[in-house]
Structure 1
Amino acid sequence: MQQHPLQSHAAITAFGAYVPDRILSNNDLEQMVDTNDEWIFQRTGIKERRIAAEEQFCSDMCFGAVRDLQLRYGVVLEDIDYVLVATTTPDTYFPSMAARVQAEFGIPASGAADIQAACAGFVSALQLANGLILSGAYRKILVIGAETLSKATDYTDRSTCILFGDGAGAMLLERREEGAFLASYNLTNGSNGHNLYRSSLSPTIAGVPIQTNSLIVQNGREVYRWAVTTVPKGINALLERNGFTTEDINWFVPHSANMRIVESICERTGISLDQTLTSMQQYGNTSAASIPLSIDLALKEERIKTGDTLLLYGFGGGLTESALLLRWTL
């Protein structure tokens, strides 16, 4: 039987983002815990973060990002046939945030699922969406990365409360002859998952005792060591396996965890900081939302151009890494 290549490819056709109005600055945190602006900025690169209002939750971040996508690109949402939301801080475990988006925007017939891969979530959701479109089963998928990490932050712990913020980004993917997805990469080290977690039910992870108060717990030293060691290896593996070099990349978009981590990754891979897009200075660590928020800032500054090659690299809780090489098709 003659084989025919798939003719369906996923292209980026719209983009949007949202952050709440309230700003929590480093100076504000000085009034809450034993810290100061200089200490925070030197260690993290963060100056401020956006915090959801008391009555705002993850679903509201999703809605805001999708409305921004509609406003900027004038797209029709009624014919979307799948919604994927990457988040670690849903309003409810079910109904999913994707189902909430479907209801809010009156999408009549779509699949809906939440993806839980922490800071690698948005990239993981893009990978899944691309696979669904390549299968030929779906042609228009809405992917959202959204978090309200402030709802899960211990504001008495100065080592973690300085990091996290809230926000969302949304990307619309549609079947086209020329797609955006060039290559992907994934790696997981589940044996070290207890170094970064948020628990609600089990008192242990693989026998290691953990807190069960639903707040984020992080062993910063171990997570830092893991990230600066494995992410550069992952970048090199992705590029080498697919015939690319760092010179082929216009923009590197890592998860905005900590500027010191990003600087170390760039130093070890030879990627210039000048071609690296981050969002932590303005928004802090927003987990699944950090990569789309970085893209949003760059789009507003007219830095990303149609045809540019972007390397997206999410890494975090799991411990999980997800990467994509994309051609920007907007």
Structure 2
Amino acid sequence: MKILIVSDAWLPQINGVVRTLLTTKQILESMGHQVLMVTPDLFKTIPCPTYPEIRLALRPTPRVAELIRVFDPDTIHIATEGPLGLSARSFCYKQQKRFTTSFHTKFPEYVNARFGIPIRWSYHLLRWFHGLSSRVMVATQSLRQELEVQGFKNLAFWSRGVDIELFRPQAKRFLLDARPISLYVGRVAVEKNIEAFLKLNLAGTKYVVGQGPQLESLKQQYPTVRFVGAKTGEELSRYYAAADVFVFPSRTDTFGLVLLESLASGTPVAAYPVSGPLDVIGKSGAGCLDENLETAVQQALTIPAEHCRHHAEQYSWQTCTQQFLSNLCPIEK
């Protein structure tokens, strides 16, 4: 099958959406499918306001239409609601072609946190964007329930997986600072609620792996925290494995792929009891969810590494890719 996937989120960005799409593409191709990614690297781009590391395609509509016509896909999936996603949606609407979408990011909450725009306004736009989709794929059942309350239709489940060969228990001596070591991995940005972690009165050492618009200011505010920048691959896996607890302060992530990466590395999770952590951790005992994040950290430190690893091993990328395939809708040619 010829599968066309449109995404405004792509390399060199490092986030859960990009890692999910890269892995899905690789597995689809290993299964014999042809996959064309329509991504910002194929276009002239401009930096996203307040997020210069994110590149937005400039006037992409004609080129998107050309790519779709030339590739002549059997199915189209629009992964994001940015300029490329809007262009692909417009093409499909005009040509009366069915397509699917996915809901990766709670943009209404993000935009509200950064600019104060009312959440209901943004959800109105997102309902319009996804309203023509044959299926709107979501990563968790709790997110599905939240979107149903917001009036979204045609919701379908598409979970996430973890590379248990890359992310695995390893020697703790990779990090030699005072223990326990508390780790955060992700964008360093206000919508990630990272200061809820940085303000905690914790023994030992705090580590932050990631980049983002708040990085320089937070370095100044929290000089004892180890900010090491973005990491990938084997180096990232060592940070996960060397930590004693992974702290996930976000209240708005739709899944939190980093949760699975930490658990696969044998490192327990401390988080708020919100969508994402509730779905990944639940009642597994592989982490602690509490409105008092400091309490969650202290309790998570008592969880055995093997318990975390066992829970993560239940999440297979192969299963997730099969879910994605079953949700796709063929184009009526």
Q: Looking at both structures, which has the greater relative contact order when contacts are Cα pairs under 8 Å and sequence separation is at least 6?
A: 1
TM-score, reference length from structure 1: 0.27
Instruction: Tell me which protein shows more helix as a share of its residues.
Output: 2
Max Rg structure: 2
TM-score, with normalisation over the residues of structure 2?
0.26
Q: Whose strand proportion is higher, 1 or 2?
A: 1
